[in-house]
Amino acid sequence: MERLGFENGSLSSANTGLPPSASPMGKSRKARRIGHHRLLLTSALVPVLAVSGLVIGATPSHADGGRGGQYTSGGPPINGGAGGTSNATTAGGAGGDGTYAPYWSGGGGGGAGATGGAGGKSEGGTSAAGGASAGQDGADAPDMSSGSGGGGGGGAHGYVGSTAPTAAVQGGKGGDGGSSSSNGSGGGGGAGGYGAVITGSGPLTILYNVVGGNGGAGGSSSGSGFSAGAGGQGGYGILTTTATTLTIGSGVVVVGGNGVAGGTGAGGGVGIAGSDLNLILQSGAIVSGGVSSSSVQADAIQLTGGTSVLELEGNGSMSLSTPSYASIIGNVVGATGGASNTLKFSGSGGLFNLANLGNNNSTYKFQNFTGYDVSTTGTWSFYNNSQSGLQVPWVVSAGTLRIGRDGDSASYTIPGTVRVKNGGTLAGSPTGSAGGGTNGYVVVESGGHLKATQYAGSYSINVNGELALASGAILDVTLGAPNNTYAIFNTTSNLTLNGTLNVSSGTSFGVGDYLIIGYSGVLSGSGLVVGSMPSGYDATISTMTANKVLLTVTVAQPLYWNGTTTSGSGPVAGGDGTWTASQSQLNWTNAAGTSHVASNSSKVAAFAGTAGTVTVDTTNGAVGATGLTFISSGYVVAGDDLTLANGSATPAVNVDGAGTTATISSSISGSDGLEKTGAGTLVLSGANTYTGGTTVTDGTLQLGDATGVGSVVGNIVDNAALVFANPTAQTFAGVVSGSGTVTKQGAGTLTLTANNTYTGTTTISAGTLQIRDGGSTGSVAGAIVNNAALVLN
């Protein structure tokens, strides 16, 4: 059997020997009986979002049997029997019988149910039975050689139960109404059975395809004044009867049954319907409404009341060519009149077209939602604009809500207010020529982020309402050239200013003033503080200019170690003391010694004044800097780990002057490497764990002393002087390259196991230098001066 696909927005079974899914039934009995073939969904369908040749329209709340044909000649019309009502967990209602006065009208089709309802009778006609067991088709009513036809039987539901089906299920087809070949009306078609009726509260996961049954065809009529019977309506794909959490698995297809032609065309069945429904569609799931005989697409999903959530799990794709979430064919309609309907965006992110959002208008795919929630592990990007005037609250619970796509030249607007929770981010597009905005206020709670990149010709994010930044809110900005005309963030109303501003450098970033926030109303709050800055820069925030929050960027100055001195003024004291991340320990100062501040890991740490032992204490968190500079000789940095991090640049450890020595016995951690600068000597006597390599640019880098071996991870570029002073045995497996010298000091044996390429002289002053360790690698390239012991192994 070939795989089932979509044609014109409906299911197609071409080349399978199965019936077309949405074509008007012919009037011959043969043509109508084709509908008895079963539509088996055994493989995933191809997702299609663009639906051609279809009219998207509302679907009746019930999928009932078709009314029998009426007689309308020579007096008041003689109505046909009413179609039977479809029921969720009980038997379908029987179709009404035709009436006689003076001619018989057609019988109504039976309703769908756990067992299908019988069709109504007419003159000389017999009742057509409904489906008697799960998924069974309703019986066709017999054709009449004279007189009107009876109604077709209703289809039986494919599954009724409190758990999820354990196999693919399909509702029974409604039986065809009987036709008349001489002076009579047609009988109504039976209703299609529902694919599945879920009575349990879950959570449940649908892992197999579910299809509603097609409605039966209305019988044809013959003679003046007689009319054909109405077709039966298609059955729901899934109907839930209680508050339920329901997940449709990836690749699973849920589709409503199709309505079939007759005197009056019948509607297709809704794909999924329920109240108080928490419906989760995994990426790759397909939900479709059935199609009527006149090619009107039924709703894919109806949230019929209470408190409901539709969750779209994205797959992280930002491609417009394929959907980044489930394929939904037909509208998604939430109930009105006090119902709560939330559209939730989850998974790893995706791309969503805001033009799909609106209220009470079949033009919009997602209708009548009272709230939107972004809760993702990645980024959901929203583009285009919704129905004019739409104003619905948005919540960013986790992950990123991005306004616009990368490279957009158009400005898009989120239709409503936005509240950013702890762990959530409201962001503008990182690239493009136009910013985005909201048509309501924005609140960023503690731990929430507001993120944008500077644009030259527009605001990055424009808030049409108040902007409230709570204490603990975080602003993340990427800045280009200073003295920008357009603010990164703008509000047309009041500004509540609190939180932290983190800055990243874009093209042309540098010293100068940046307009971070513009506002038109009242300014309140405690103000912003500067968090992280690009390496080499400091910044201050000012609100002194009306309606502007300005950031002034200057060249960064190091913080000077001040030992135990935390007050007063005068030269830098230096000396012994504890280096901690505590923001209450104010033992750092400026070059003049006139300020007293806490440690700041985004600054260079400078050591001047009287040398002493600086003890690193990580009790209050990691201790670090972007680099170190030693001005006075004799400093020792000991204790807990010291983190050196300088963004994308390599942290430099500078030791001034040829006679200056500094020792670090703390283990240095980080991922940016280390560069030794300055003419002095830096001694590393700890077991260092930083990665990214080591470069000796000036002076001397000594690994080890009498107190410890001293080690580094990875390779060393030596363009000055490298000393191994290990007191005990040490093996170095990294490659030493460059133009510098290598000296072996200390009593221990140093074993080099790599093929080293440095070109300077190797001097053995003490201990033993061993080349190779019994293996095939290990060499030095330059001359060797041996004043102790050399071993070639």
Per residue, the 3-state secondary structure of 461-509, as one string, reads EEECCCEEECCCCEEEEEECCCCCCCCCEEECCCEECCCEEEEEECCCC
- If pLDDT is split at 50, 70 and 90, which confidence band does 61 have? very low
Helix (H/G/I), strand (E/B), else coil: 253: strand
N residues, the chain: 793
User: pLDDT tens for residues 651-696?
Assistant: 999 999 999 999 999 999 999 999 999 999 999 999 999 999 999 9
- If pLDDT is split at 50, 70 and 90, which confidence band does 75 have? confident
The pTM assigned to this predicted structure is: 0.79
pLDDT at 265 over 70: no
Distance of CA 664 to the CA centre of its chain: 45
At 262 the pLDDT is 59
At 29 the pLDDT is 40
Section 645-651 average pLDDT: 88
User: pLDDT tens for residues 158-175?
Assistant: 999 999 999 999 999 999
- If pLDDT is split at 50, 70 and 90, which confidence band does 58 have? very low
- What is the distance between the alpha carbons of residues 629 and 607, in angstroms, rounded to a whole number? 6
CA distances from 649 to 308, 455, 534 (A): 50, 26, 10
pLDDT at 204 over 80: yes
Strands ordered across the beta sheet of 624-625: 624-625, 642-644, 668-669
Of all residues in the chain, the percent with pLDDT exceeding 70 is 90
CA distances from 579 to 591, 640, 645, 661, 672 (A): 18, 10, 17, 20, 22
- If pLDDT is split at 50, 70 and 90, which confidence band does 344 have? very high
Section 715-719 average pLDDT: 99
Section 313-331 average pLDDT: 83
pLDDT at 81 over 90: no
* Residue 195 · residue 236 · CB < 8 Å: yes
- What is the distance between the alpha carbons of residues 110 and 189, in angstroms, rounded to a whole number? 7
At 100 the pLDDT is 76
* Residue 285 · residue 315 · CB < 8 Å: no
Longest CA–CA separation in the chain, Å:
130
CA distances from 80 to 23, 178, 435 (A): 25, 13, 61
At 62 the pLDDT is 53
* Amino acid in position 185: S
At 198 the pLDDT is 98
Which run of H or of E encompasses 313? Answer: strand 307-314
More confident residue, 152 or 38: 152
pLDDT at 66 over 60: yes
pLDDT at 33 over 60: no
**Which backbone phi and psi does 30 adopt, to 5 degrees?**
-60, -45
- DSSP for 554-615 reads EE--PEEE-TT--SS-SS--B-SEEEE--TT---EE-TTS---B---TTSEEEE-SB--EEE
Q: Give the other-Cβ count within 10 Å of 715's Cβ.
A: 18
Mean of the per-residue pLDDT values for the chain?
A: 88
Angle at 412 between CA 358 and CA 379, to 5 degrees: 90
- If pLDDT is split at 50, 70 and 90, which confidence band does 42 have? very low
Q: Give the other-Cβ count within 10 Å of 335's Cβ.
A: 16
pLDDT at 472 over 50: yes
pLDDT at 441 over 70: yes
Lowest mean pLDDT among 344-348, 430-434, 669-673, 758-762: 430-434
- What is the distance between the alpha carbons of residues 648 and 714, in angstroms, rounded to a whole number? 18
- If pLDDT is split at 50, 70 and 90, which confidence band does 102 have? low
pLDDT at 465 over 60: yes
* CB-based contacts of 791, cutoff 8 Å, min separation 6: 749, 768, 769, 770, 771
At 12 the pLDDT is 41
Lowest mean pLDDT among 64-68, 500-504, 595-599, 756-760: 64-68
